Structure 1
Amino acid sequence: MDSLIIEGPSKLSGIVDVSGSKNSALPLLFASILFDEKVTYENIPRLWDIESTLSLLRIMGCATEWAKELGRVSIFPTITKKEAPYELVKKMRAGILALGPLVAKYGEAKVSLPGGCAIGARPVNYHIEALRKMGVTVEVEEGYIHATVKNKLVGAEIFFPEVTVTGTENLLYVAVMAEGTTLLQNAACEPEVVALGEFLKSCGAKISGLGTQTVTIQGSKLKSPVKPIAIPPDRIEAGTWISISLATRCPLELNHCDSSQMTSVLSAFRQMGAKIEELNQGTILKITPADKYLPLHIETAPYPGFPTDMQAQILTLLCLAEGRSTVVESIFENRFMHVAELQRLGAKIEVNGNIASIEGPVKFQGAPIMATDLRASACLVLAGLISKGTTRVSRIYHLDRGYQRLDEKLRRLGAKITRVAE
């Protein structure tokens, strides 16, 4: 395992190219299982979760090609094994996305229950209950989901008791191949779900209501895509870079953004006092930090609300605001593990259940700290950049799951940051 050594405080300047979205790439890669011919993707980020997904597809029988420097992946979906084993699915919760395509295309699947994160339970019971309504026999035994279509897939009316992104994505895979009409109610509205649905539509799927809580899918025959699929920009990475710019009080310019997907995040930063210009139809963001930041009350929520994946970053930034801020985590339990590490640097944060109260401003002092999950690792790097002295962030394999070469990008901007083997 590697660590990052950060000498702070950092002075940054320059332009950042935002990478392709991990949360879009993963469901789109798993969608290749639905087809008989090669599927090609562009703007694929170099991440551990991408590596794990391609390894999983290869175990199933697919051939893959990855031109990493070009960001291009090709998948030849020659499935011979309808199983997603524990050894790979445990590394990332998105492994559950093998379930829908295997059931839809081959009528059977054996998929390990997911892992990959320490931020709370992510139950798959909504996936299972919905599949049963569509004619799938599902059993859970010894840590595996065993799914079989004994007759045929049939459309159904599905209501999700809670919004589930991967549940909505899994049902999209299945519904486009089912006989009849499927109605998904309380569906996830996230841009990554919309991107998957639009891709399936480009291949002949009949889907309406994408981006709303009610999605209708008419079963139809899919045709293999003839053009490469471009992965959209990562809205969470873009938000992380804005946090870095504001915390270090160093203006930055971000390329390859989609500001239309970041309304709640941009609004929060602007309420704190930041100036953010949206240029070139929102694909370029110019960030101008403020001398002083105002405190905020933030509640995470499903899209278009404030994303839980930005909670750790804005919580860290709020340590610099003048006054008392509160952050309510409404999506996942146990997602304040980064607080104890921030406290080691000098943060004044109290956690009561799913509410964190932050007193600012504080000045961080470098110390050894440990990443506990993907987004927590990003906030700890952010904290290290503004700490006086040396900060060592260990277990950064979490960071590599979701950020492409973050430390290299920071060095190009002027940060004193070094990767070392533990």
Structure 2
Amino acid sequence: MSEDYLARIGTLIRDARRHKSMTQNELALALGTSQSAVARIEQGKQNLSLEMLARIGECLDSEFVSLGHSGAQHLRIVGGTKLSGAIDVKTSKNAAVALLCASLLNRGRTTLRNLARIEEVNRILEVLTSIGVKARWLPDSNDLELVPPARLDLAGIDVDAARRTRTVIMFLGPLLHEYPEFQLPYAGGCDLGTRTVEPHMSALRPFGLNVTAHSGFYEARVDGDVTPGRPIVLTERGDTVTENALLAAARHEGVTVIRNASPNYMVQDLCFFLEKLGVRIEGIGSTTLTVHGRREIDMDVEYSPSEDPIEAMSLLAAAVVTESEITIRRVPIEFLEIELAQLELMGMKYDITQEYRSANGHTRLVDLTTIPGPLVAPTDKIHPMPFPGLNIDNLPFFAIIAACAEGTTMIHDWVYENRAIYLTELTKVGARVQLLDPHRVMIEGPTRWRATEVICPPALRPAVVILLAMLAAPGTSVLRNVYVINRGYEELAERLNALGATIETFRDI
């Protein structure tokens, strides 16, 4: 390996070790080597074999530094015990990915504070660094620094990484102001069925963007003479569609009105970040956004995304399914009020503190303590709606909550045609789930949970639902191939273990 590669690998190993809160000596003991050898490795002064890289990757559980994992990562869960204690909600996954894309608007340095270090973020970072963006995690922190090159190298884009995340479609908004022609790989991500990109295209055509699909790539052409002449009415009140329109409007030198915009949490975080870049936005939190863009953005900026309401709901569901009293700190209450109102109708009790502000200065937070008690099925079906309705990503957690309640509950997932089907996997851990059609399931509770072995569903939230159900099942369960969970949650197993769970990470030999 060249000295440059050794130095880069050494930095990745150092950052991964610090992220695992390990000392050099602890890593040395795990590897069967000396502390001075680890120090040389991190300084880029030690030649490394593929075997050693694989061993380091296993010790640090980091795909950044492993070139030879022996197989997929699995979880072994010993269930049937109650949880206790307190846990902080991490910052938002969906805000993080939007902010990473938004950093492409800025010619200056962007520092994102307390960012979620998850696989989805890793994939986007791989894409960003492949086109020339310098990215580094600041020492002993979850703070990420991004510095763009004078000119992006789009020809060098990491196609494999780009195709493992749908987020790459949000590169369209920032890039259309820079290039008359460019291409992006098809987007991937969770397997949730066909999701048309046409709403994105109709939102961006007023900025002169035309996209055709050809040979696995989006071929983009931009007519610089076309600018929004009237308000942009989104055909879908989608989060990423709204974000893409905002990213395009941010560098349109003029006023852009976006109607039928999503006012959801990640969109608000993006708006607050764009305001830090000097873009004035009226109507944040509403369905009409008025954006006063800037042709050039070149400034050093810092921003802290707000906490993740979906993770907060995950932890709430963990408490319900294990009949536990836990305190969930830093809950973004304004994005969980409908969910909590629904849970109160089902009989759930909880205590909350006075509100305080997130580090972004805007989002309202509380600390919430769950109070175990019997639940009853709701009279009406549970279904999602655009914010301020029940969040589509929180709907799967009502499946395991309904499985704990007395009576029959209908869950109607009208957005995704596959995700309701994945909820039938709960039958393997003892739940009584009847699939009515690709969008609706009936769940009868309460449930006698049982331990089992399940292959992780390919969609993030249903996968976490299975994991949480296994926490309630007496005995030892195995959840196989949990990469999809790592896409959206940072060290979820370790954090649940801190509450009293018993979850072991392992790989096949």
Distance 1:107 1:242 in 2: 48
Of 396, 400, 407, 2:482 maps to 396
Distance 2:203 2:502 in 1: 50
Structure 2: any 5+ residue segments left out of the alignment?
A: 1-71, 357-364
Residue type of the partner of 2:375? Y
Distance of aligned partners of 1:384 and 1:69 in 2 relative to their CA distance in 1, 3 Å threshold: farther
SS at match of 1:196: helix
Please tell me whether residue 197 in structure 1 is matched to residue 271 in structure 2. Answer: yes
Once residues 210 and 284 of structure 1 are traced to their aligned partners in structure 2, the CA distance between those partners, rounded to angstroms, is 21
Match of 1:90 among 163, 167, 171: 163
Which residue of structure 2 aligns with residue 118 of structure 1?
191
Q: Name the CA shift for 1:226/1:369 in 2 (closer, same or farther; >3 Å).
A: same
Tell me how far 1:107 sits from its aligned partner: 4.4
Q: Does 1:22 align with 2:110?
A: no
| C-alpha spacing 1:225/1:352, structure 2 compared with 1 (3 Å) | farther
Partner residue, 1:363 = 448
Is 1:102 the counterpart of 2:175 in the alignment?
A: yes
Residue of 114, 126, 142 corresponding to 1:71: 142
Equivalent position to 2:377, from 295, 306, 324: 295
The structure with more radius of gyration = 2
For 1:311, the equivalent position in structure 2 comes to: 395
Contact 1:295 1:324 in 2 (8 A): yes
Counterpart CA distance in 2 for 1:293 and 1:278 is 19
Q: 1:16 to 1:73 in 2, by over 3 A?
A: same
Alignment of 1:185 onto 2:259: yes
1:81 aligns with 2:153: yes
1:300 positional shift: 1.2
Deviation, structure 1 residue 420 = 0.9
1:21-57 C-alpha deviation (Å, 9 max, x unpaired) = 1100111111111111111010101100111111110
The equivalent residue for 2:124 is: 53
Equivalent residue runs for 1:205-224 within 5 Å: 205-224=279-298
Segment of structure 1 superposing worse, 395-404 or 178-187? 178-187
Asked if residue 129 in structure 1 is aligned to residue 214 in structure 2, the reply is no
Q: Is the 8 A contact 2:202 2:234 kept in 1?
A: no
CA distance in structure 2 between the partners assigned to 1:380 and 1:109 by the alignment: 41
Cα distance in structure 1, aligned partners of 2:286 and 2:232: 15
Within 5 Å, give how 1:344-383 maps onto structure 2. 344-353=428-437, 354-372=439-457, 373-383=459-469
Number of residue pairs matched by the alignment: 422
- One-letter code aligned to 2:376: L
After superposition, residues 149-188 of structure 1 pair within 5 angstroms as: 149-152=222-225, 154-156=227-229, 157-188=231-262
Cα distance in 2 for partners of 1:303, 1:89 equals 28
Q: Which amino acid aligns with 1:363?
A: R
Contact 1:158-1:184 within 8 A present in 2 as well? yes
Q: Cα distance 1:191–1:306, how it changes in 2: closer, same or farther (>3 A)?
A: same
Give the superposed CA RMSD: 1.8
Query: How big is the shift at 1:261?
Result: 1.9
Q: Secondary structure of 1:33's match?
A: helix
TM-score with structure 2 length normalisation? 0.79
Residue 39 of structure 1 aligns with which residue?
A: 110
CA deviation string 1:165-189 (max 9, x = no partner): 1111111111122243322221111
CA contact (8 A) 2:424 2:435 kept: no
8 Å CA contact retained: 1:105, 1:177: no
Report the counterpart of residue 321 of structure 1 in structure 2: 405
| Helix, strand or coil at the partner of 2:498 | helix
| 1:242 aligned residue (305, 310, 316) | 316
Contact kept, 8 Å, 2:102 with 2:247, in 1: the verdict is yes
Query: Segments of 4+ in structure 1 off by > 4 A?
Result: none
CA distance in 2, matches of 1:386, 1:32: 41
Offset of 1:125 from its aligned partner?
1.0
Provide the rounded CA distance (Å) in 1 between the counterparts of 2:187 and 2:73.
24
Q: Alignment partner of 2:84: what SS?
A: coil
Q: 2-side partners of 1:203 and 1:15: how far apart?
A: 36
Q: Who is 1:341 aligned against?
A: 425
In 2, Cα distance between equivalents of 1:318 and 1:291: 14
2:212 to 139, 145, 154: 139
Q: Distance in 2 between matches of 1:190 and 1:288?
A: 25
- Does the aligned pair in 1 maintain the 2:93–2:308 contact within 8 Å? yes
Question: Matched residue of 2:478: which SS?
Answer: strand
The alpha-carbon deviation at position 210 of structure 1 amounts to 2.1
8 Å CA contact retained: 2:92, 2:308: yes
Q: Which 10-residue stretch deviates more, 236-245 or 61-70?
A: 61-70
Quote the Cα distance in structure 2 between the aligned partners of 1:8 and 1:342: 15
Query: How far off is 1:71 after superposition?
Result: 0.8
